[in-house]
Amino acid sequence: MNEFRKPGMKLGITGGIGSGKTSVCRVFNVLGIPVFSADPEAQKIMNSDSRIKKEINRIAGKNLFTKGTLDRSRLASLIFNDPECLKKVNTLVHPVVFERFKQWAELQKAPYVIMENAILFESGASSLVDRVATIIAPVEERIQRVMQSKELTRDQVLDRIRNQMDDETRIKMSDYVINNSENAMIIPVILRIHEDLIDHLNT
């Protein structure tokens, strides 16, 4: 991680599918902390930047925008089975997301900002933040949550989990861990992290 920067501190929030990144970010947001979510931003860029759209079609070898917007499920199945294709799309989109994050962060007035990113480490976005919090939850709970929220089968969720970095690796590279299991109390942990970051800003 970078040396602690202040002001303009940045917290990265990451975690596997269904761990509860979005839910945790909502709590930080209630505390007045602005959140930049990398995935929706990447989707926005892929649907609006004509250079990126053209390149995606070139990489895919077909038009993935036949209905006006990107056919996400076709892209997902393409990149899921083709690591080279995934790498090409990432190399195209990530730098644009990173640039947008930097510009956005400059405009915020809060003591620190958050980048929520499921692939914070894999994408290299961890180099843009000062601290990282990893969200964890038991695999079985994550499976049930994702099966419900994304209408996927158990095997589809398991495939995605296996395709992602494991929690142990993420935790080793993180400053904070937030346990978002159903039985855990996330608010006190989030408040402690919030206070820790504010303390560092004030010292």
The interface region with ligand ATP, picked from 16-24, 62-70, 100-108, 124-132 by CB under 6 A, is 16-24
Would you say 25 and 13 are in contact if contact means Cβ atoms under 8 Å apart? yes
Q: Give the C-alpha separation, 13 to 22, whole Å.
A: 9
Annotate each residue in 49-88 with x if it binds ligand ATP (CB under 6 A) or - if it does not, as one string. Answer: ----------------------------------------
Residue 106 beta carbon to ligand ATP: minimum distance, rounded to whole angstroms: 25
Q: Give the C-alpha separation, 22 to 104, whole Å.
A: 19
With both helix axes pointing from N to C terminus, report the angle between 50-60 and 72-80 in degrees, rounded to the nearest 10.
50
Q: Which of 1, 4, 5, 23 binds ligand ATP (CB under 6 A)?
A: 23
55-90 in b/e form (b: 16+ CB < 10 A) is bbeebbeeebbeeeebbeeebeebbeeeeebbebbb
The helix, strand and coil proportions of the chain, stated in percent and rounded to the nearest 5, come to 60, 10, 30
12 near ligand ATP, judged by CB under 6 A: no
Residue 15 beta carbon to ligand ATP: minimum distance, rounded to whole angstroms: 5
The interface region with ligand ATP, picked from 55-63, 81-89, 95-103, 141-149 by CB under 6 A, is 141-149
The interface region with ligand ATP, picked from 18-26, 42-50, 89-97, 168-176 by CB under 6 A, is 18-26
136 near ligand ATP, judged by CB under 6 A: no
Q: Which residue has the tokens 């990144």?
A: 21
Compute φ and ψ for 114, nearest 5 degrees: -120, 140
Q: Which of 9, 15, 53, 97 binds ligand ATP (CB under 6 A)?
A: 15
Which residues are CB-neighbours of 73 under 8 A, at least 6 positions away? none
Cα Rg for the chain, rounded, in angstroms? 17
The interface region with ligand ATP, picked from 12-20, 44-52, 84-92, 192-200 by CB under 6 A, is 12-20
The residue among 59 and 133 lying less far from ligand ATP, judged by its C-beta, is 133
Q: Which of 9, 19, 132, 194 binds ligand ATP (CB under 6 A)?
A: 19
Contact residues for ligand ATP (CB under 6 A)? 15, 17-23, 118, 145-146, 149, 180, 182
